[in-house]
Amino acid sequence: MSILTGADIADELLTKSTVTLPLIAMASVLALLFSIPLGMYAALRFRRWDGIATSAVSQLGIAVPTFWVGVILITIFSVGFQVLPAGGFPDEGWSSWASCVKSLALPAITLALAQGAMLMRFARSATIDVIQQDYFRTARATGLTRGQALRIHGVRNALVPVVSVLGMQISTLIVGAIIVESVFALPGIGQMLLQDVSIRDYTKVQGTVAVTTASVFLVSFLIDVALNTLNPKLRQRQ
Amino acid sequence: MTRNRTLNIGLGLVAFSPFMALLSLVWTPYDPLEINPDVSLAKPSLSHLLGTDVLGRDVLSNIIVGSRTTLLTAFLAVLICMVVGVIAGIGTAVSPRWMETPAIFGIDIILALPTVLFAIVLAAVYGPSTFTAVVAIGIALSAAVAQVTRREVNVILSTDYVVAAHASGSSTGRIVRRHILPNIRASLFVQASGASAIAILAESTLSYLGLGTTPPAPSWGRMLAASQQYLIIDPIVALWPGLVIVITVLGFNLVGDGLREALDPTLRKSAS
Spatial CB neighbours of B139, under 8 Å, sequence gap ≥ 6: B80, B81, B84, B110, B118
Q: Among B231, B246, B250, whose Cβ lies nearest the Cβ of A71?
A: B231
Per-residue confidence band for A212, with pLDDT thresholds at 50, 70 and 90? confident
pLDDT at A125 over 60: yes
Compute the distance between CA of residue B25 and CA of residue B22 in angstroms, rounded to an integer: 5
C-alpha angle B159/B193/B154, rounded to 5°?
20
* pLDDT tens string B160-204: 888 888 888 888 888 888 888 888 888 888 888 888 888 888 888
Q: Among B116, B211, B253, whose Cβ lies nearest the Cβ of A62?
A: B253
* pLDDT tens string B121-166: 787 778 777 788 888 888 888 888 888 888 888 888 888 888 888 8
Q: Do A216 and B253 touch (CB under 8 A)?
A: no
pLDDT at B271 over 60: no
Residue-range definition of the domain harbouring residue B72: 2-27+49-267
Note whether residue B132 is domain-resident.
yes
Among all residues of chain A, which has the CA nearest to that of B236? A75
Q: What residues in A contact B115, CB-CB < 8 Å?
A: 175
Note whether residue B33 is domain-resident.
no
Q: Among A71, A128, A220, whose Cβ lies nearest the Cβ of B224?
A: A71
Among A104-113, A157-166, B10-19, B102-111, the minimum mean pLDDT is found in A157-166
Number of domains in chain B: 1
The reported pLDDT for the residue numbered A219 is 80
Alpha helices in A86-231 (DSSP H): 97-131, 134-141, 146-149, 155-183, 189-198, 202-230
Name every residue in B having a CB less than 8 A away from some CB of A.
112-117, 120-121, 123-125, 197, 201, 204-205, 208-211, 221, 224-225, 227-228, 231-232, 235, 238, 241-242, 245-246, 249-250, 253-254, 270-271
Q: Among B116, B123, B227, whose Cβ lies nearest the Cβ of A175?
A: B116
Span A95-119, average pLDDT: 77
User: Distance (Å) from the C-alpha of residue A232 to the closest C-alpha of chain B?
Assistant: 25
Q: Do B113 and A213 touch (CB under 8 A)?
A: yes
Q: Report the CATH number at residue B182.
A: 1.10.3720.10
Q: Among B114, B232, B253, whose Cβ lies nearest the Cβ of A79?
A: B232
Span A43-60, average pLDDT: 75
User: Distance (Å) from the C-alpha of residue B19 to the closest C-alpha of chain A?
Assistant: 20
Note whether residue B43 is domain-resident.
no
Instruction: Point out which residues pair with B58 in neighbouring strands.
Output: B52
Indicate the average pLDDT of chain B.
78
Q: What residues in B contact A79, CB-CB < 8 Å?
A: 231-232, 235
Q: How many CB pairs under 8 A join A and B?
A: 113
Q: Do A64 and B242 touch (CB under 8 A)?
A: yes
More confident residue, A108 or A145: A108
C-alpha angle A49/A52/A55, rounded to 5°?
150
Per-residue confidence band for B1, with pLDDT thresholds at 50, 70 and 90? very low
The reported pLDDT for the residue numbered B270 is 45
Span B213-218, average pLDDT: 70
The reported pLDDT for the residue numbered B272 is 41
Note whether residue B142 is domain-resident.
yes
Note whether residue B32 is domain-resident.
no
Span A37-62, average pLDDT: 76
Note whether residue B34 is domain-resident.
no
Q: Do B121 and A209 touch (CB under 8 A)?
A: yes
Per-residue confidence band for A238, with pLDDT thresholds at 50, 70 and 90? very low
Span A131-156, average pLDDT: 75
More confident residue, B68 or B83: B83
Instruction: Point out which residues pair with A70 in neighbouring strands.
Output: none
Compute the distance between CA of residue B138 and CA of residue B146 in angstroms, rounded to an integer: 12
Q: Do B121 and A79 touch (CB under 8 A)?
A: no
Among A177-186, A229-238, B68-77, the minimum mean pLDDT is found in A229-238
In this prediction the pTM is 0.80
pLDDT at B74 over 60: yes
pLDDT at B251 over 80: yes
More confident residue, B40 or B94: B94
Q: Among B208, B221, B250, whose Cβ lies nearest the Cβ of A60?
A: B250
The reported pLDDT for the residue numbered B79 is 92
More confident residue, B83 or A120: B83
**Smallest Cα–Cα separation from B57: which of B243, B225, B227?**
B227
**Sign of the dihedral through C-alpha B159, B162, B164, B166:** negative
Q: Do A202 and B124 touch (CB under 8 A)?
A: yes
The CA distances from residue A44 to B54, B123, B149, in Å, are: 48, 45, 32
* pLDDT tens string A15-27: 777 777 778 888 8
**Smallest Cα–Cα separation from B114: which of A16, A90, A24, A19?**
A24
The reported pLDDT for the residue numbered B233 is 67
Note whether residue B223 is domain-resident.
yes
Cis peptide before B265 (omega within 30 of 0): no
pLDDT at B91 over 70: yes
Best to test chain B binding among A132, A175, A199 (most B CBs inside 10 Å): A175
Instruction: Point out which residues pair with B52 in neighbouring strands.
Output: B58
Note whether residue B201 is domain-resident.
yes
Alpha helices in chain B (DSSP H): 5-26, 59-94, 97-112, 115-126, 130-157, 160-167, 172-175, 181-208, 220-228, 239-263, 265-269
